[in-house]
Structure 1
Amino acid sequence: MDDELLIVEDLMLLLLADDGSQIAGSKVLHCVLPAAILTELALTGRLEVHSHRRVGGTRIHASRTNADPEIDPLLAEVLRAMGGSEHSAYGLVSALGLDVRQSVLDRLAARGLILRETRKILGVLPTTRWPSLDSRAEAALRDRVTAVLDRGRSPDARTAVIIALISAAGVYAQLSPRMPWNAEVAGRLKAIERGEVTGHDSTPATQEIIDEIARAVFALTSSASSAPIL
C-alpha cells in the first residue's frame, strides 16, 4: 500500500467480511459510500457550508469548481456531480446517483488488499467473492475504532467519520468479525454519530458538514433493510 486509503476504501474494508462473501449493509451502500466520499471532501477542505434558515437549513457547496490535478478520481466525480450549486446533505447523499461499490472493490483489489474470486454456482450462475489478501490496513482500522468505542480514546477526524457513518447506517452490529458491544459502546457510537464526540483534528465548519451528512445517512437508511447480502 503506497499511500493512505480514502475514507470510502477504509469503510469498505470494515464492511467486507474477511472471506469476501458478505458486505454488511449491502442494501444501503448507495447512501453510505457516497457519504464517505463527501466526508473526505469536507476533511480535505473541498466543501464549504452556508446556513440559510429560510430555505431549509444548512447548505453545502464545493469550495472550488476548477480542475484539481491532485484530487483522486472518485472525489473528482462527486465534485463534478455537485457542480457550482448549493445542496442539502440529504439531497447530496440521496440524489448523487453514484454507484461506486464496484469501483471501490476494484481499487482495493488493485492495491493487493483483497482478491477477486469469480466462480459459478452449479456451473452456471457466476458469483464473485472478495476475500482478504492483506489484512493489515483493516486490522489497524479495527484497532482504532475499538480504542475509541471500547476504551474511550479521543478519535481523529477520519476514525470519527467512519464510526459516525456505520452508526448512522445501523451496520455496526453486522460487521464480521464482530466488534466489541456493550452499553458503553452503544452510547459512544451514538455520541459520535450525533457530533457530541468529534475528531480532535476536525474544525467546527468541517464538523458541521459531517454531522449533516451523518443525519442524512440515518434518515435515508433507518427504514431500509441492511442484511449482509453481497
Structure 2
Amino acid sequence: MNQRTGAPPTLAEDLLLLLFQPAAGGTIAGEGTLFYTLGGAVLADLALGDHVRTGSGRARVEVVPEHPPSDAILRAAWDYVARKPRGVQTVLAAIGPTLRAPLLERLVERGDIRRGTRRTLGLFTTTVLADGGNGRRAGLVEDVRQVLVAGARPAPRVAALAALLSGSGTLPQFHREIPWISPVIARAKELERGDWGAGAAGEAVTRTVTATIVNNAIIAATVVPRT
C-alpha cells in the first residue's frame, strides 16, 4: 500500500495502468512477462531519480550511496541493490515477481482502476477490473502517442514508458490508439536504445542508464514465452 498520501505515482504504476486493457475485459497486457517489465520500470524510476547507476560493463547496477528513494516500493528495490552491486537481470528476477499486487492496489486506491464483481453462469462471482473514469490512463496513452506518432520530444518518464511498452511486446494491442505502423515501430526501437533526442549532458547520462536497464528487462523477457 502506498502510505504517502497524495504522492505522485511511480513509473511502474503508470506502466501497469497503461498495460491495463479496459476494453478487453479488464485484462493486463503482457501478463506472461509482466514481472520483468514492472521490475524494469522500478529500476528505470530509480535511475531517473539518480538513486542507482550502472556499474562496470553497464550490465550491473549499484546504488548511489546515501540517496535512497522515499517511496516504499522503490526503497525495497534500492535496499536489495544496496547489499552489493548486481546484474540488472538478477535484480529484475528478485524484485519483479512481487510487484503486480501492490502496484495494482495503489491504482485502485487512486481511483485509476475500479475493482468490482460479476456473476458467471449465474453461479460464480468473479472479481473484475474496470477503468476508474478519472482520465489518467487516457492521458498516459496520449503522452505516449504524441511521442511515437506525432514525433514530440519525450520527457524522460514518457520515453521510458514507451520503451518499456515496446520491449514488452504489447504495443500492437494499442493499435486503435497508437497505430502499429513502421514509423511508430522504428521510433519505439529508438527509445529502447536511449535515443530520446537532444538534451542536456545530465539527461544524456540518465537516459543511457535507463536504456541499459530497459534493454536488460527486454532481454530477460524474451526468454519467457509470452501469453
Q: TM-score, normalised by structure 1?
A: 0.85
Q: CA deviation at 1:220?
A: 1.6
| Counterpart residue number, 1:24 | 29
Contact 1:117 1:128 in 2 (8 A): yes
- Of 16-25 and 38-47, more deviation after overlay is shown by 16-25
**Contact kept? 1:93, 1:213, Cα under 8 Å:** no
Residue of structure 2 equivalent to 1:78: 77
Asked if 2 retains the 8 angstrom alpha-carbon contact of 1:21 and 1:130, the reply is yes
User: What's the CA shift string for 1:32-79, capped at 9, x where partnerless?
Assistant: 111101111111110122225xxxx5421111367x5x6111111111
CA contact (8 A) 2:15 2:161 kept: yes
Question: Does structure 2 retain, via aligned residues, the 8 Å contact 1:15–1:176?
Answer: no
In 1, distance between residues paired with 2:50 and 2:101?
A: 26
- Kindly indicate which of the two structures has a greater share of residues assigned to helix: 2
Change (3 A) 1:128 1:199: farther
Confirm or deny that 1:45 pairs with 2:50: yes
Post-superposition Cα deviations, 1:15-40, rounded to whole Å, max 9, x if no partner, equal 10125521110111110111101111
CA apart distance, 1:103: 0.7
Percent identity among equivalent residues? 28
Change in Cα spacing, 1:45 to 1:83, as seen in structure 2 (3 Å) is same
Q: Tell me how far 1:206 sits from its aligned partner.
A: 1.9
Instruction: Identify which of 15, 18, 36 aligns with 2:19.
Output: 15
Aligned length: 221
RMSD: 2.5
CA–CA distance in 2 between the matches of 1:13 and 1:197?
Answer: 22
Contact 2:38 2:96 in 1 (8 A): no
Any conservation in 1 of the 2:168–2:221 contact (CA below 8 Å)?
yes
Equivalences for residues 55-94 of structure 1 within 5 A: 57-64=58-65, 71-94=70-93
The change in CA–CA distance for 1:49 and 1:31 in structure 2 (over 3 A counts) is same
Q: Does the aligned pair in 2 maintain the 1:61–1:84 contact within 8 Å?
A: no
Residue of structure 1 in register with 2:9 after alignment? 5
1:155 equivalenced with 2:159 (yes/no): no
TM-score by length of 2: 0.86
Q: How far apart are 1:221 and its partner, in Å?
A: 1.8
Once the two structures are superposed, the pairs formed by residues 1-230 of structure 1 within 5 Å of their partners are 2-19=6-23, 21-52=26-57, 57-64=58-65, 71-119=70-118, 121-122=120-121, 127-175=126-174, 178-198=177-197, 200=199, 203-227=203-227
Contact 2:61 2:81 survives alignment (8 Å):
no
Q: Matches of 2:216 and 2:51 in 1, distance apart?
A: 19
Separation in 1, partners of 2:125, 2:216: 35
Q: Give the drift of 1:81.
A: 2.0
- Cα 1:168–1:97, aligned 2, differ >3 Å: closer, same or farther? closer
Q: Distance in 2 between matches of 1:5 and 1:200?
A: 24
Contact 2:59 2:216 in 1 (8 A): no
Matched residue type, 2:19:
L
Q: Retained in 1: the 8 A contact 2:171–2:180?
A: no
> Measured at CA, do residues 190 and 97 of structure 1 come closer, stay the same or move farther in structure 2, by a change above 3 Å?
closer
